[in-house]
Structure 1
Amino acid sequence: MIVDCAIYHDGHRTEGPEDFSDALDTARAAGGFVWIGLHEPSEKEFEHVTDEFGLHPLAVEDALKAHQRPKLEVYDDSLFVVLKPVIYEPHSDTVSTGEIMVFVGDSFVVTVRHGEGGGLAAVRQRLEQEPETLGQGPTSVLYAISDSVVDHYLDVATELQTDLEELEAEVFSPDGGGSRHTASRIYNFKRQITEFRRATGPLALPMSRLAGTGAGSTFGTGVPFVEDRARPFFRDVSDHLTRVNESVENLDRLVSDILSAHLAQISVQQNDDMRKISAWAAMAAIPTMLAGVYGMNFDHMPELHWVWSYPAVITVMAVMEVLLYRLFKRRGWL
């Protein structure tokens, strides 16, 4: 359950006690804070953390059940933030999301991670190499996690843009637009963008509140447990997130346009096919009509007993066929 537990003082790490129930008291006595990382804890396992840090039961319920939207909740003794890291598999062209729940208090940070993505070992290692940032307390951990998640959003958006350009080239290629699998690929790509948007879109308001610029922030006091000097850092994260959301909107709009263009191509191709079929049917109608007339077996028919009747009818058929073929070819129907 516990991935890592450490106490930080003046931006430097000291190993946490074996029993994390003493970690908070130890951190407060040293004037630092404790950071405990958990991965998919059970309700019974998380109960010890809840009792030790006094976490709000509603936030605990969200952390255990997962499948939450990105959000920011302020409670009396802690701050609760939900982030959704995104993983993009280029081989399967699929977007999957994990979840990171962050509890921030005056002297503690508790992170709960769900899913395979969004590991925080690299974030912790990077922070431990930046004592000045880590020395700002629990706020620095929340910033570092948010920054890591949003920066990865930018990478995923870039990869999606590259794949979209490849898809666009396929749709508008001479032989790719009519592929029976193209429409399903476009639709699947649009589903991946929708999944990506579920992670990035709702996070805009929490980041704005943490930066002190959102409608939900309390100007003058800011968000509890977030120091005022950390606002510029969260503004930077919020700016990156805005770029991501703009990219997602552009991707979604382009995919819709590509799908419309693909459907239009199919419609034009079907019209071309119908014109060709109609042209060949019209050419087949001439000999069918003449053969039908002279196949009615009446005695009194024009030129019925003429020696050259058969060659004349065949000649008329051939001339009419050639004239129709040239007419349809000139109009682009064949």
Structure 2
Amino acid sequence: MTAPAIRILNAIDDDEIRRLKAAQEFFWLDLVSPSEEQLTHLGSLLGLHPLAIEDSVKQGQRPKLDAYDDTALLVLQAAIEVQPEKKNTHPLEEVHCHISGDFIITVHGPRFTDLEQVKTLLGRSTVLKSEHYKLYKIIDVVVDSFFPVLSDLDEEINRLEDAIVSGAGRAELETIFLLKRLLLKLRRAVVPMRDVFAREVEVIADLAGLESDSHDYFRDIYDHLIRITDELDAYHEMVSGCTDLYLSTVANRQGETSKHLTIIASVFLPLSFLTGFFGMNFGWEVSHLLEGVWAFLILGLGSMLLSAGLMWWWFRRKGWTGSDG
């Protein structure tokens, strides 16, 4: 038996909700930042467990699945895309799903708008689907919200690697730390959701009133979470690689600077000796050698140029004057 088309509500309408319950018509109520009074009233209207209402009021919950007799509370985390992602200080939006055989209630903040596409999809669909399919589409959109963020992260990490190779600086180091924090936040949200769909999702399938065709749908969500986790781990390794690349680039640059300074000091070492030697004003030198312009040019400047040239030739022969790249 196939379930009737879903009725979608965007606000608490007592009369409509009572009518839908009396007619046993499955509906979806999507609430954006409801007040505590609204949630308390909704809980009494639909018979939701007080602990489930308390979790939705307080927010700040870890992804989990709690069963209360004939209802369940599924807490998920959705990802919010911001460009560039390194400036995404609040990448997550909590989504609460109150699930029953008669309804689905979603509670979330205003930043998460991806559920609008599910409303459009289910509202325009002419093919009747089961309640589990409709629940799957809602959860699937929440989980798939991570993929655009992952795509942005892939591009940013590639740009970061290019920037580090071109010339590692303080900005690149700051980007590395920002991306590490972002990846950690995302992973802390995804891993608990993965664990829920790996071990506890049968609770939803056992709710009275829901058709028992959930296994394939929820397995698909679990596969998506596995893929997201693997990508987050891979990106974390890439960012760690960027840290090593940054340190290596800085060390190479410092080595190049030290080499150049050493060459300059080595070239000036014989020059300092020659200027000191001829600057002593020995009597015999002044009387016999250092007379006239040619003596100054040949013995003075000539010896210094010759020593500098010989030193440079020797460094070139040893390959010390070229760049390591």
TM-score normalised over the length of structure 1: 0.81
Q: Paired residues, what number? A: 312
Native 8 Å contact 1:109 1:141 kept in 2: no
Native 8 Å contact 1:286 1:320 kept in 2: yes
Aligned counterparts, 1:152-301, within 5 A: 152-172=145-165, 176-209=166-199, 212=202, 224=207, 227-296=211-280
Which residue number corresponds to residue 324 of structure 1?
A: 311
Say yes or no: does 1:305 pair with 2:298. Answer: no
Q: CA 1:315 to 1:74, structure 2 compared with 1: closer, same or farther past 3 Å?
A: same
Q: Within 1, Cα distance between the matches of 2:276 and 2:68? A: 90
Q: Secondary structure at the residue paired with 2:287?
A: coil
Greater share of helix: 2
Native 8 Å contact 2:6 2:27 kept in 1: no
Residue identity in the other structure for 2:47: G
Identity across the alignment (%): 26
Native 8 Å contact 2:7 2:28 kept in 1: no
Say yes or no: does 1:109 pair with 2:101. Answer: no
Which residue number corresponds to residue 333 of structure 1?
A: 321
Which residue number corresponds to residue 3 of structure 1?
A: none
Q: Within 1, Cα distance between the matches of 2:109 and 2:8? A: 24
Q: Structure 2 residue aligned with 1:315, among 292, 302, 314?
A: 302
Structure number with greater CO (CA < 8 Å, separation at least 6) is: 2
Q: Secondary structure at the residue paired with 2:140?
A: helix
**How far did 1:271 drift?**
0.3
Native 8 Å contact 1:150 1:240 kept in 2: yes
Once superposed, what is the RMSD of the aligned Cα atoms?
Answer: 3.0
Q: Structure 1 residue aligned with 2:26, among 21, 30, 33?
A: 33
Residue identity in the other structure for 1:144: K
Q: CA 1:15 to 1:128, structure 2 compared with 1: closer, same or farther past 3 Å?
A: closer
Consecutive unaligned residues in structure 1, runs of 5 or more:
1-8
Residue identity in the other structure for 1:159: D
Q: CA 1:66 to 1:257, structure 2 compared with 1: closer, same or farther past 3 Å?
A: same
Q: Structure 1 residue aligned with 2:81, among 75, 82, 88?
A: 88
Q: Within 2, Cα distance between the matches of 1:179 and 1:14? A: 56
Native 8 Å contact 2:190 2:229 kept in 1: yes
Consecutive unaligned residues in structure 2, runs of 5 or more:
none
Question: What do the CA deviations read for 1:204-240 (whole angstroms, capped 9, x no partner)?
Answer: 011223555xxxx7xxx96545653111100011111
Larger deviation, residues 320-329 vs 19-28: 19-28
Aligned counterparts, 1:42-191, within 5 A: 42-91=35-84, 93-95=86-88, 96-130=91-125, 134=129, 136-137=130-131, 139-172=132-165, 176-191=166-181
Residue identity in the other structure for 2:167: G
